[in-house]
Amino acid sequence: MKTKCLILIALAAALVAASATATTVVPPTFDELVDEAQLIFQGTVTDVRCEWTGEGTQRGIVSYVTFKIQDVLKGSPGPAYTLQTVGGTIGNETIAIADAPVFKEGDSDILFVENNGHQFIPLVGIMYGRFRVQPDVVPGREYVTDYAGGPVAGILQLSSADFKNAIRAKLATRAH
């Protein structure tokens, strides 16, 4: 009986510890995405570079994701911009954060960036600050999906132009 009690106490302690470290991300509203972002742009990933940082228990992998900027909606990123995120793969060692976006060369995205270099994932609402830009069946047209490739706000296909126009319209109301 004493052994069962100790096992239950250890299990309860482990569950409390696990729940204390779990992260819940509340999806930001469109207004929050626009307002909280220091930088909003559409860009294509041109490079992903991972490096080891820190020592001992503080040792980890940081990824540097460089984008060629195609359209700036808020802020001034210049012709290229590099995001610094925690996690990545070096050799056969991977450090990953649940639900954190994973970028690869050639990805086209609209990003809502905040606190780059100071936040473990520098996107508003972590994964919610990334919108994938996909080619449409009509040549020369693109549409936007959420971070997981699903429809944006229940709209089956939202063109990237319409999405960016909505962002610009929201920014224009904030300027007045």
- The angle subtended at Cα 107 by Cα 102 and Cα 109, nearest 5°, is 90
170 compared with 4, residue with greater pLDDT: 170
Question: Cα(144)–Cα(132) distance, rounded to whole angstroms?
Answer: 6
Structure-block tokens of residue 173: 């109301």
Query: Which of 31, 21, 91 has its CA nearest to residue 61?
Result: 91
Task: Work out the burial of residue 35: count CB atoms within 10 Å of its CB; fewer than 13 is exposed, 13-18 middle, 19 or more buried.
Answer: middle
Question: Cα(54)–Cα(60) distance, rounded to whole angstroms?
Answer: 6
pLDDT > 90: percent of the chain: 61
pTM (2 d.p.): 0.82
Question: Cα(108)–Cα(143) distance, rounded to whole angstroms?
Answer: 11
Kindly tell me if the per-residue pLDDT of 15 is higher than 60. no
pLDDT digits (tens, 9 = 90+) for 124-144: 999 999 999 998 877 888 899
119 alpha carbon, distance to own chain's centre: 11
pLDDT value at residue 23 = 57
Kindly tell me if the per-residue pLDDT of 4 is higher than 70. no
Q: What are phi and psi of 53, to 5 degrees?
A: -135, 160
155 compared with 3, residue with greater pLDDT: 155
pLDDT value at residue 86 = 94
Kindly tell me if the per-residue pLDDT of 66 is higher than 50. yes
For the chain, the average pLDDT equals: 84
Taken as a whole, the chain contains a residue count of: 176
CA distances from 162 to 25, 44, 45, 67, 159 (A): 26, 19, 22, 22, 5
Kindly tell me if the per-residue pLDDT of 8 is higher than 90. no
Per DSSP bridges, beta strands 142-145 and 130-135 are antiparallel
Q: What are phi and psi of 153, to 5 degrees?
A: 50, 40
The whole-number average pLDDT for the span 97-103 is 90
| Confidence at 16, pLDDT banded by 50, 70, 90 | very low
The whole-number average pLDDT for the span 110-124 is 95
Delineate the domains of the chain, giving CATH numbers in brackets. Answer: 28-175 (2.40.50)
The Cβ of residue 121 has, within 10 Å, a number of other Cβ atoms equal to 23
pLDDT digits (tens, 9 = 90+) for 24-45: 778 899 999 999 999 999 999 9
